[in-house]
Amino acid sequence: MSLIRRLFAPKKLEPSYPRLPALGEDGQTTVPGIYALGELAGTPLVRLGLNAGHDLIQRVGPKLKFERPADASDDVYDVVIVGSGSSGFAATVAAKDLGLRYLTLEAASFANTFATMTKGKVLLAEPTDVPKRSRVFFEECRKEELLERWRTLRDEEQLLVREHEAVKDIKGKLDAFEVITAAGSYPTRRVLLCLGKAGNPRRLGVPGEREAGDRVQHRLLDPDDFIDKDIIIVGAGDVACEAAIALASPGHNRVTLSAIDKELTFPKERNVEAVRALEREGKLRLVLDSRVIGLDAHTATVEKAGQREEVAYDTLFEMIGAELPLGFLRKIGVRLAGDWTPGRWMALTAAFVFVYSLYALKSYGKGIVAWPFESLISPASYDAVAQWLFRVGFAPFSLFFSDAAMSDMLRDRGFQQGYLYSLLYTVLMLVFGYQAMIRWRNKAKDRRYQTYRYLTLLSFQVGFFLIVNVVGVHALSAKYAWRAWGLYQPFPLFFNTYFWWSPSDPTPLVLFFVIAGLLGTFVAIPLLARNHGKRFCTWVCGCGGLAETLGDRWRHLAAKGQRSRAWEFQGALVMAAAFIVGLVVVGAYQSSGGNAWWKTYNYVVDFWLVAVIPIGLYPFFGGKVWCRYWCPLAAYNGLLARLYGRLKIVSNKQCITCTECSTYCQVGVDVMAFAKNAQPFDNSNSACIQCGICIDVCPMGVLSFETSDGRAVDKNTK
Q: What are 563-585's pLDDT values in tens digits?
A: 999 999 999 999 999 999 999 99
Phi, psi of 256 (to 5 degrees): -115, 125
State which of 134, 161, 193 marks the end of a domain: 193
- Let me know whether 240 and 169 are in one domain: no
Mean of the pLDDT values across residues 151-178?
A: 96
In a domain, 49, yes or no: yes
Same domain, 109 and 182: yes
Here the CATH number for the domain that contains residue 279 is 3.50.50.60
Beta strand pairing call for 102-105 and 77-82? parallel
**For 542, what's the count of Cα atoms within 13 Å in the CB-facing half-sphere?**
25
DSSP 462-477: HHHHHIIIIIHHHHH-
Average pLDDT over residues 326-335: 92
Task: Find the mean pLDDT for residues 308-325.
Answer: 91
Whether residue 307 lies inside any domain: the answer is yes
In this structure, the answer to whether residues 175 and 227 fall within a common structural domain is no
| 373 membership: H or E segment, kind and range | helix 373-376
- 367's CB contacts (< 8 A; 6+ apart) are none
Instruction: Report the C-alpha gap between 185 and 532 in whole angstroms.
Output: 59
Contacts of 503 (CB under 8 A, 6+ apart): none
pTM of the model: 0.86
Q: Of 358, 264, 244, whose CA–CA distance to 612 is shortest?
A: 358
On the question of pLDDT at 718 being above 50, the answer is no
Mean of all residue pLDDT scores within the chain: 92
Q: Are residues 148 and 227 in the same domain?
A: no
| Confidence tier at 715 by pLDDT (50, 70, 90) | low
pLDDT at residue number 199: 63
Q: Give the model's pLDDT for residue 323.
A: 78
The pLDDT of residue 198 is above 70 = no
Output the CA–CA distances (angstroms, integers) from residue 702 to 127, 261, 320, 678, 696, in the order listed.
Answer: 11, 27, 26, 9, 10
> Would the CA dihedral through 456, 457, 458, 460 be positive or negative?
positive
Q: Are residues 51 and 84 in the same domain?
A: yes
The domain boundary, picked from 163, 193, 223, lies at 193
| 588 occurs within a structural domain | no
The residue from 136, 162, 193 where one domain ends is: 193
Query: Does residue 134 share a domain with residue 57?
Result: yes
For residue 310, is it within any domain? yes
169 in a domain, yes or no? Answer: yes
**pLDDT (0 to 100) of residue 341:** 87
pLDDT tens readout for residues 628-679: 999 999 999 999 999 999 999 999 988 888 889 999 999 999 999 999 888 9
Residue % of the chain over a pLDDT of 70:
98
Condensed to tens digits (0 to 9), the pLDDT of residues 3-62 reads 788 888 888 778 888 888 999 888 999 999 999 998 888 887 899 999 999 999 999 999
Determine, yes or no, domain membership for 118: yes
- Strands 290-295 and 299-304 turn out to be antiparallel
Domain that holds residue 257: 213-318
pLDDT at 717: 45
* Whether 54 and 189 share a structural domain: yes
Does residue 686 have a pLDDT over 80? Answer: yes
Domain count of the fold of the chain = 2
Are 171 and 219 part of one and the same domain? Answer: no
Q: What's the mean pLDDT in 368-375?
A: 95
pLDDT band at 135 (very low <50, low <70, confident <90, very high): very high
Query: How many residues in total does the chain contain?
Result: 718
Let me know whether 182 and 268 are in one domain: no
- Answer yes or no: do 154 and 46 share one domain: yes
Per-residue model confidence (pLDDT) at position 614: 95
Same domain, 118 and 225: no
pLDDT the model gives residue 14: 82
Per the domain annotation, does 83 fall within a domain? yes
Distance of CA 331 to the CA centre of its chain: 26
Whether 459 maps to a domain, the answer reads no
Q: Both 169 and 48 in a single domain?
A: yes
